[in-house]
Amino acid sequence: MIRRARALAAAAAVLVPVAALAATTLPAASPSAAPSAQAEPAMTVARGPLIIGHRGASGYRPEHTEGSYELAVRMGADFIEPDLVATKDGQLVVRHENEIGGTTDVASHPEFASRRTTKTVDGTKITDWFTEDFTLAEIKTLRAVERLPDIRQHNTLYNGRYQVLTLQEVIDLAKRFTREYHRKIGIVPETKHPTYFRSIGLPLENTVAATIRRNGFDKGGRTVVQSFEPSSLRILHKALPHVTVLQCMSASGSPYDTVATGQGPTFAEMAEPAGLKTVRTYADWIGPEKAMVVPPKADGSLGTPGPLVRDAHQAGLKVVPYTFRNENKYLPTDLRNGTPLGDYGQSFKEYDAYFKAGIDGMFTDNSDTAFRARQDFLGERS
């Protein structure tokens, strides 16, 4: 363990001096009539837009792994993000989706070959292996692999080196990182496919809330709960009244609970001033797809900010868009360097445009780049 930690420290030091990660205090939010904003204690974090390590430092390590989370924190992340799905025995494990053929080595386990099956999840037919068909003990025999090997070939070096984590283990990591790095590290768990899991008798919300309360992470600004589905967030808001709630938004379509019931808003309706006021009745932040904040031009180049940040702030909501990444594939066309999609582009220019648009934080796969961009924006680096 000591040897691994030293190796990570050496790698991270090349990218961001550890001494630069000292925390300062974010100015307290103004009082609001929102449910959770009144009781939420202030959190000591870095000044400026918050950096959320999207599934850890998934630009450098397979996502949702101990190595990914630790590197994100070393590189300057204020929060780490676990996506949550359920096992057959009702345990919460951390995977991008409930299908795990692309994020674990399950295909190389002959004992699980017969569990590959076809299901319809959120209206989409998928053939794969699914977490809800495995017990936690069985999941623990698997190892994580890189989800985007064509774009992040370097990350495949770490295939097979990490177990699949539980929510409890991510909380334990956040506690350890807080002690070791002398700054408070929070978590931003997301309920994935909550309507689907409810339909198969494995509801996520009560277990999420119980785990957070049991660890004292319902106090002190340590947790932000998030989902694309408002029905899941309303349950979590009632169960965790002092925890910040974040409504995720896609640039198109509707939350699946709207699709499943035939009632509820589209994401576009949520982003309108009236929709934002409704969101504010159960949430404190929004997490829009970043194109909703700075819509691209017709040719895919960087555009100018739209009204979303202004409208959200007027409704009393903070704006934390997703997902910032360094690779050309994920950047506006005019910020790409060359044509290979996996090569790095001019991501600092993208961060600067969003900081100027007034965002309150961001989900990023590259916490070191976000940290440096924030320093530049705040004038904290010579």
Alpha-carbon dihedral 191, 196, 200, 202, rounded to 10 degrees: 10
Q: Which of 19-28, 52-61, 160-169 has the lowest mean pLDDT?
A: 19-28
Task: Give yes or no for a contact between 257 and 230, defined as CB atoms under 8 angstroms apart.
Answer: yes
- At which residue do the structure tokens 């050496």 appear? 10
What is the number of other CB atoms lying within 10 angstroms of the CB of residue 79?
26
Q: Encoding tokens for residue 366?
A: 């590259």
The pLDDT, as a whole number, for residue 106 is 98
Above 60 in pLDDT, residue 31?
Answer: no
User: pLDDT-derived band of residue 11, with 50, 70 and 90 as boundaries?
Assistant: very low
The pLDDT, as a whole number, for residue 218 is 97
Peptide linkage before 323 cis (omega within 30 of 0): yes
The pLDDT, as a whole number, for residue 38 is 38
Above 80 in pLDDT, residue 20?
Answer: no
User: pLDDT-derived band of residue 349, with 50, 70 and 90 as boundaries?
Assistant: very high
Percent of the chain with pLDDT over 70: 87
How far is CA 376 from each of CA 197, 304, 369, rounded to the nearest angstrom? 43, 20, 11
| Tens of pLDDT, residues 195-230 | 999 999 999 999 999 999 999 999 999 999 999 999
Task: Give yes or no for a contact between 101 and 128, defined as CB atoms under 8 angstroms apart.
Answer: yes
Please name the amino acid found at residue 99. E
User: pLDDT-derived band of residue 167, with 50, 70 and 90 as boundaries?
Assistant: very high
Above 80 in pLDDT, residue 110?
Answer: yes
- β-bridge partners, 226: 190, 246
State the average pLDDT over residues 77-102.
98
Above 50 in pLDDT, residue 13?
Answer: no
- Average pLDDT value for the chain: 90
Crossing angle of helices 66-74 and 167-181, in 10° steps, is 30
DSSP-derived 3-state class of residue 52: strand
The pLDDT, as a whole number, for residue 380 is 85
The pLDDT, as a whole number, for residue 47 is 80
| Tens of pLDDT, residues 53-65 | 999 999 999 999 9
Above 50 in pLDDT, residue 25?
Answer: no
DSSP-derived 3-state class of residue 145: coil
What is the spatial distance between Cα 286 and Cα 304, in angstroms, rounded to a whole number?
Answer: 20
User: pLDDT-derived band of residue 9, with 50, 70 and 90 as boundaries?
Assistant: very low
- At which residue do the structure tokens 């694309």 appear? 228
User: pLDDT-derived band of residue 23, with 50, 70 and 90 as boundaries?
Assistant: very low
The pLDDT, as a whole number, for residue 251 is 97
The pLDDT, as a whole number, for residue 46 is 60
Above 50 in pLDDT, residue 37?
Answer: no
| Tens of pLDDT, residues 93-106 | 999 999 999 999 99
Task: Name the residue with higher pLDDT: 39 or 356.
Answer: 356
| Tens of pLDDT, residues 260-285 | 999 999 999 999 999 999 999 999 99
Above 80 in pLDDT, residue 313?
Answer: yes
Q: Encoding tokens for residue 121?
A: 């999840």
Instruction: Tell me the longest C-alpha to C-alpha distance in the chain.
Output: 59
Q: What is the DSSP string of 1-32?
A: -HHHHHHHHHHHHHHS-GGGG---PPPPPPP-
Task: Give yes or no for a contact between 104 and 44, defined as CB atoms under 8 angstroms apart.
Answer: no
- Residue environment code for 95-134, b if the CB has 16+ CB neighbours within 10 A, otherwise e: bbbbbbbbbbebeeeeebeeeeeebebbeeeeebbbbbbb
DSSP-derived 3-state class of residue 210: helix
What is the spatial distance between Cα 18 and Cα 77, in angstroms, rounded to a whole number?
Answer: 12
The pLDDT, as a whole number, for residue 243 is 98
Q: Which of 44-58, 232-246, 288-302 has the lowest mean pLDDT?
A: 44-58
Above 60 in pLDDT, residue 326?
Answer: yes
